[in-house]
Amino acid sequence: MCSVSLQSQITPSNTIIRFHMRLMKPPPLSSSSTAAIFRKARLSPYLFTLLVFILFVCVLYGEDLTCIFGQQLQLTSSSDPIVIKTGKKREKLPFTVGKTDEGCDLFSGRWVFDESTRPLYEESECPYIQPQLTCQEHGRPDKDYQKWRWQPHGCDLPSFNATLMLETLRGKRMMFVGDSLNRGQYVSMICLLHKLIPDDAKSMESFDSDSRTVFTAKTYNATIEFYWAPFLLESNADNAVVHRISDRLVRKGSINKHGKHWKGVDVLVFNTYLWWMTGLEFKILLGSFNDEVKDIVNVPTTEAYRMAMKTMLRWLRRNMDPKKTRVFFTSMSPSHGKSIEWGGEPGGNCYNQTTLIEDPNYWGSDSRKNIMEVIGEVFSKTKVPISFLNITQLSNYRKDAHTSIYKKQWNPLTPEQLANPVSYADCVHWCLPGLQDTWNELLFAKLFYP
């Protein structure tokens, strides 16, 4: 039998799915019945010869013709219905329990103000939120930013089920890998889950000079971890505490330095973006950080980012078992540092912003588009099953959700800064509870209902 293989390309909202279809071979016609048909039709010798030749070719090469035209032809026997058998069942992705509506794009939708179900937890109820993200504790006067729910067009986002998540993670490891924005999503996940775990059955510890943080749910024998790797590759910003380096440098092809800590993880959630945004060019180290004379080249930032994406996918292909592990990549988290981009007054930013951006086509910086194009190109060519969490567009609307000035300040503020809050507002990170809880609702949906 002939097997026809169909493969869909990865897009920013799906994963690779492979399946095979086998078409039934038609029953051959007997020579006597064929001759009788020709006699009744009183065909000319030339036409008769041509039809016999065509029939001979069809019988001799029927299987090959089925391969070529199988999807167009309706092949039946005398009284049987059309038969299309699956040669190989679609493999169920790990952790899935169902699927979303056909054609549903969870990442295309609108924000709905919802006081009845939001927030999903209270800031004061989650002791794991870093002081950089506790906006209420640091004096934010409003709470509306906590009460927006994402509503996809034409379908609904599955409700986050903490019990299902914990039961699924029983005996397993979940790890977020990336920068401080991914750490915010990691903390959000813990805040969504920890209430179901008794106080004496959970813990939070840091290892390797704070490069790895591990939340343990002891009764489930499960861990939810964060690993600091802002570029995924080895860099001069790998120190999780002292990493504020302006002259950033990444070593080419060096993912194994960090990757050895990711092996065996059951659910991996990657992100990397913000640290690459230092200008039009980026420095790449071709040798070792230990070399006395370092071989450094400047390349376009988009090409440096492309290199990182290809290296990540290569590592996954070599080290991941797609029958056991699910991998996600979270797209760029937008910042709102220039109010002029959304039609605001020049010189402003996210400070004192309490409303959403209403323009459905708002995108912000062109650099995000360029990076998104790189991700789309690289992911579309890979056979590695990776789910893309496209949080960029929906987060673009949320200029109200940043920590702004309502966070722990690591350095004392000067009188000039205090007189101008715009100068020290953090328009990169997000208050918790808030926007990043939606990111985890989307992660939940893609994990269990792809």
At 300-325, the pLDDT tens digits run: 999 999 999 999 999 999 999 999 99
pLDDT, one tens digit per residue, over 331-372 is: 999 999 999 999 999 999 999 999 999 999 898 876 688 999
Does residue 384 come out as left (phi exceeding 0), alpha (psi in the -120 to 50 range) or beta? beta
Set 179, 387, 429, 437: catalytic member? 429
Q: Is the pLDDT of residue 231 over 70?
A: yes
DSSP 229-298: -TTSS-BTT--SSS---SS-EEETT-THHHHTTTTT-SEEEE---GGG-SSSEEEEESS-TT-SS--EEE
Q: Is the pLDDT of residue 65 over 70?
A: no
pLDDT band per the 50, 70, 90 thresholds, residue 92? confident
Q: Is the pLDDT of residue 32 over 50?
A: no
Catalytic site includes residue 261? no
Give the residue extent of every domain in the chain.
Answer: 109-449
Look over the chain and give the mean of its residue pLDDT values, rounded to a whole number: 84
Catalytic site includes residue 321? no
Rounded-to-integer distance, Cα 374 and Cα 273, Å: 12
pLDDT, one tens digit per residue, over 413-450 is: 999 999 999 999 999 999 999 999 999 999 999 999 98
Rounded-to-integer distance, Cα 279 and Cα 334, Å: 16
**Angle made by CA atoms 247, 365, 278, in degrees to the nearest 5:** 5
Over range 145-172, report the average pLDDT.
Answer: 96
The residue among 365 and 240 whose pLDDT is bigger is 240
| Predicted model pTM | 0.80
Set 179, 180, 258, 331: catalytic member? 180
Q: Is the pLDDT of residue 59 over 50?
A: no
**Residue 31: per-residue pLDDT:** 44
Set 179, 238, 400, 426: catalytic member? 426
Over range 228-234, report the average pLDDT.
Answer: 97
Catalytic site includes residue 144? no
Q: Is the pLDDT of residue 169 over 80?
A: yes
Q: What are phi and psi of 167, to 5 degrees?
A: -65, -35
pLDDT band per the 50, 70, 90 thresholds, residue 66? very low
Q: How large a percentage of the chain has pLDDT more than 70?
A: 80
**Residue 249: per-residue pLDDT:** 94
**Residue 263: per-residue pLDDT:** 96
pLDDT band per the 50, 70, 90 thresholds, residue 208? confident
**Residue 40: per-residue pLDDT:** 45
Over range 200-227, report the average pLDDT.
Answer: 95
